[in-house]
Structure 1
Amino acid sequence: MTTPPPSTVRAVNARACLLVLRDASEPLTLGELAAATGLSRPTVDAVLQDLAAAGTVAPSAPAPSAGAGRPARRVTFVPSAASVAAIDIGARSVRCLVTDLAGTELARASVPFSAEAPVDALLAAVEATGHRPRAVGVAVPGILAADGRIAQSLAVPALVGLDPAALLEERLDCPVGVDNDIKLAALAEHHLGGPADSMLFVQLGHRISVAAILGGRILQGAHRLAGELGSQRGMRWTTSSERGRMMWSTGSEAKPLLERAATGEPAALAEVEEFCREIAPRLATVLLTLDPARVVVGGGLSRAGETLLAPLREALDHLLMTETSPDMVAARLTTDGALVGALGAGFRHGSAHLTGIPDVPAPWTGLAAALT
């Protein structure tokens, strides 16, 4: 068995100490930190020196002493040591959310999107928050190529050909992680929902999109095309859809129809049930291919709750000749899923720059406070 190099061991130890301190509700003594991590006191002491140099931990008031001895020195996590920004690009606007290292919201901003100067619009959203982040995550409405360029975007064609990470890193002078908005929304739901190692995320809005989490990670595929069902030539979710956009008897907006269905109006209920029957076959194929533990339904339509989920479950149960089927729940986030997921990506991608330690997971417990 190969012994890991000392630098790797030190990073693992530092990560363990940092996570314990980040999750602690109060400052900890050296002894408490050693007990929580299983590390020796000398090792913890050495790690704390590195973390203090990086600015992520600081001395705190000594613990009260019951005897005549010297009070035990304590250390605390410093959330204000850096900030992380998330950018969510939409067809009409760019939203930005900034948090500290504990995931506590510091600022939000929204600016108009400019097809003539898309990168300037992203920078303007960050500047509008009044913060200078040390890491950024970006949610893009499109397919990313292996080299980081946006290869396709039906929602925002002006993004095609751009490499957002490279362009923003040059202007902001910090690490920038970029991924598809639906995949990032799936990532957020995976971490903020109940325990489930695998999940299929179904975004039901003006369009239908899917993303999968397997083994706790976003399923990308060899060419980052996993879940991009809309890239199949001639593919239509429903007979009434137009260029992938959902159309209803109420036009392009489903809300009035779902509201009538919620009151029990027969015609509205019939239309919702037919919609579920039409999309169920493709979803059933994906479910049998991936066999996820849970299906999370997000997007604007998910606000209808059981008015939509109940007939969708029924349509899928009718198709699946299996003893068990995955749980189906509404997403916790309907508008901020991609934004919160982008924060998670920013934390992970910029970990070394933020804390001096690679692969520190995002503070998902703190980010839960950003729910809307």
Structure 2
Amino acid sequence: MVTADSAAVGQGNARACLLALRAANEPLTLAEVAEQTVLSRPTVDAVLTSLVETGPVRIVPAAPASSPGRPARRFAFHPGAATVAAVDIGDRSVRCLLTDAAGRMVATGRREYAGNGAAARLGAVAQVVQDAADEGGTDERLSPAVVGIAVPGILDADGRLAQSLAVKDLEGTDIASELSLRLGCPVAVENDIKLAAYAEHHLSARPADIAFVQIGHRISVALILGGRILQGRHRLAGELGTQRGMRWTSTSRRGRLHWSTGDDAAPLFARAADGDQAALAEIDAFCAEIAPRLATLLLTVDPEQVVIGGGLSRAGDLLLDPLRHHVHHLLTSPGKPVFRTARLTTDGALVGALGLAFEHGSVQVTGVLEVPPPWHRFPAPPDHPRPADAHPEGTP
């Protein structure tokens, strides 16, 4: 009789063996897996036999023996056993990233919306996933085992899109259920800013509690505490823009930031980079204006880091230095958070959605519960290579 405790132990043993093989640069023998996992050889033998049967592990042809006797069997993680897809839903288009079971990129895709309404948007999502699978090859296994979706809006407790400025026609839609029917696999959905924050946390060399502040055409906030997205009772934690009458700056209009250069801040920051004093003063005034709300938020949750993401994060110290100065000035206590820019400025939500998919579909991808995503292998944009000291395989 299999008890809950024995089943949990079995899943833990399988998880440990999988992680050892997934992290290895070459096939491992049974003895090497046993040594790395500190499990007995009979236990490892039973686990690997089962994993070979279910697919995530394969037996590799034995290397030529250097001594008499039968050469030891070697085992390897099988990246081709499953694929995983991530989708970032935007207001004008959808983007897709498809990886193998080890987190290595297989294909990418982008698709513009062919029409208006929820059906057109959901159809574009389903099609971009299929396009990526077709680009990756003809093998039927390229159909994703699970899909993670980043959506610009607030999800309610039941997972429906409750509110969105960018994709208003999807409001009230259970996106996960609708897309699961279209794609024939499990689908997980989360807010795009929260997923960008989640990716930043996991891509850090030393994961910390963070307040993620996305500054682009608008300002959005997400919080990562204890390694998890802080949701709150109604999934509204960090959703400061939902407060009636709330304005980040005196010149913002319906949540959109407005500058002396109009809606586009790029010309202003370009002038500031050239030393234009008026541009530098405008950026400093902007930071001083948003600092009080940020300071209140930081004193409420007390994170270790403030991560600035979004398009304006590309300005680097031109934005970071005055913002840090004004926020730290308001915090009278000695403990002040570190400020840094995001590692991913445009693909954070997409990479976060990939991590969400791996977490949500661990059983579909590996056959084992709670196998952590291979964050260190996730694709990164060319201008944002994966940090060499990103935390290794198997760490939270």
Give the shorter-chain TM-score range: over 0.9
Q: Please, which moves more after superposition, 65-74 or 271-280? A: 65-74
AA at the equivalent of 1:202:
V
Task: Report the equivalent of 2:116.
Answer: 115
* Separation of aligned partners in 1, 2:361 and 2:371: 9
Q: Give the match's secondary structure for 2:378.
A: helix
- Deviations along 1:279-328, one digit per CA (max 9) or x if unpaired, are 11111111111111111110000000001000001111111102131111
Task: Report the equivalent of 1:317.
Answer: 328
| 1:173 corresponds to 2:196 | no
Structure 1 runs of 4+ off > 3 angstroms? 63-66, 368-372
AA at the equivalent of 1:51:
L
* Separation of aligned partners in 1, 2:363 and 2:40: 24
- Deviations along 1:58-110, one digit per CA (max 9) or x if unpaired, are 01132454432322111001101111010101111100110111111111111
The 5 Å alignment of 1:95-174 reads 95-113=95-113, 114-116=115-117, 117-129=120-132, 130=134, 131-174=142-185
Task: Report the equivalent of 2:220.
Answer: 209
Is the contact between residue 105 and residue 369 of structure 1 (CA under 8 Å) also seen in structure 2? Answer: no
Partner residue of 2:271 out of 260, 270, 274: 260
| 1:20 corresponds to 2:20 | yes
| 1:329 corresponds to 2:322 | no
| 1:366 corresponds to 2:377 | yes
**Number of residues paired by the alignment?**
370
Shift of 1:196: 3.0
The 5 Å alignment of 1:1-372 reads 5-113=5-113, 114-116=115-117, 117-129=120-132, 130=134, 131-369=142-380, 372=384
AA at the equivalent of 1:261:
A
* Separation of aligned partners in 2, 1:210 and 1:182: 7
Q: Please, which moves more after superposition, 319-328 or 138-147? A: 319-328
Q: Give the match's secondary structure for 2:195.
A: helix
Q: Give the match's secondary structure for 1:5.
A: helix
* Separation of aligned partners in 2, 1:370 and 1:35: 36
- Deviations along 1:171-213, one digit per CA (max 9) or x if unpaired, are 1111111100000000100011221331111100011001011
* Separation of aligned partners in 2, 1:226 and 1:366: 30
- Deviations along 1:135-192, one digit per CA (max 9) or x if unpaired, are 0000000000111110000122111011110001111111111100000000100011
TM-score by length of 1: 0.97
* Separation of aligned partners in 1, 2:191 and 2:148: 11
Instruction: Structure 2: give runs of 5+ residues left out of the alignment.
Output: 135-141, 385-396
Shift of 1:4: 5.0
* Separation of aligned partners in 1, 2:17 and 2:161: 38
Specify whether residues 287 and 364 from structure 1 end up closer, same or farther in structure 2 by C-alpha distance, changes over 3 A only: same
* Separation of aligned partners in 2, 1:287 and 1:64: 60
Q: Please, which moves more after superposition, 347-356 or 3-12? A: 3-12
Shift of 1:369: 4.1
Q: Please, which moves more after superposition, 192-201 or 156-165? A: 192-201
Shift of 1:264: 1.2
* Separation of aligned partners in 1, 2:51 and 2:239: 42
- Deviations along 1:14-40, one digit per CA (max 9) or x if unpaired, are 011111111111100101101111111
TM-score by length of 2: 0.91
* Separation of aligned partners in 2, 1:365 and 1:68: 40
Shift of 1:370: 5.4
AA at the equivalent of 2:157:
A
* Separation of aligned partners in 2, 1:125 and 1:201: 28
Q: Give the match's secondary structure for 1:43.
A: helix
* Separation of aligned partners in 2, 1:161 and 1:189: 29
Q: Give the match's secondary structure for 1:179.
A: strand
Is the contact between residue 340 and residue 370 of structure 1 (CA under 8 Å) also seen in structure 2? Answer: no
Is the contact between residue 83 and residue 101 of structure 1 (CA under 8 Å) also seen in structure 2? Answer: yes
Q: Give the match's secondary structure for 2:246.
A: coil
Shift of 1:358: 1.4
* Separation of aligned partners in 1, 2:381 and 2:268: 30
Is the contact between residue 29 and residue 63 of structure 1 (CA under 8 Å) also seen in structure 2? Answer: no
Shift of 1:332: 0.5
* Separation of aligned partners in 2, 1:126 and 1:108: 9
Specify whether residues 359 and 86 from structure 1 end up closer, same or farther in structure 2 by C-alpha distance, changes over 3 A only: same
* Separation of aligned partners in 1, 2:34 and 2:320: 48
